[in-house]
Amino acid sequence: MPPLSLQETVEAIERALASAVRAVAYEEVWVTHYGAYDIHPGLLVYWVCVKTDAEKHRLEVDEELMRQLRKTLIQHNYPSEGREYVHIGFESQETVHRESGGNWWFHWK
């Protein structure tokens, strides 16, 4: 099987992050990404999105979960020169409603 393209790798990591978080989450989870990783692999952001601020805070302080999520970059052979710069963050629908009128795009702009 030929190696995955960088875009395919980024998408595979997104799915793996979602699966890992769903295993420990108490509510619905979705993961998205954006960035100019085709310019430099460090220019990539993943957001783990949940419904409530409480769940966001619970997940973002889970050190074991974060180690597992960071390890996913290695497991999927993400380019080593960018791994340490890839942001993996958590956000909630409650925060987006409160701070950005419910508009996720505006929230991250």
**Domain-by-domain residue ranges, the chain?**
6-99
For residue 39, the model assigns a pLDDT of: 95
- Nearest Cα neighbor of 41 from 2, 6, 5, 93 is 6
pTM for this one? 0.93
- Assign 1 a pLDDT band (cuts: 50, 70, 90): low
Under DSSP, is residue 89 helix (H, G, I), strand (E, B) or coil?
A: strand
Within 10 angstroms of residue 44's Cβ, the number of other Cβ atoms is 24
Under DSSP, is residue 59 helix (H, G, I), strand (E, B) or coil?
A: helix
pLDDT in tens, 61-105: 999 999 999 999 999 999 999 999 999 999 999 999 999 999 988
pLDDT in tens, 11-56: 999 999 999 999 999 999 999 999 999 999 999 999 999 999 999 9
> C-alpha distances in angstroms, 71 versus 13, 18, 95, 99?
10, 14, 27, 31
* CATH class of residue range 6-99: alpha beta
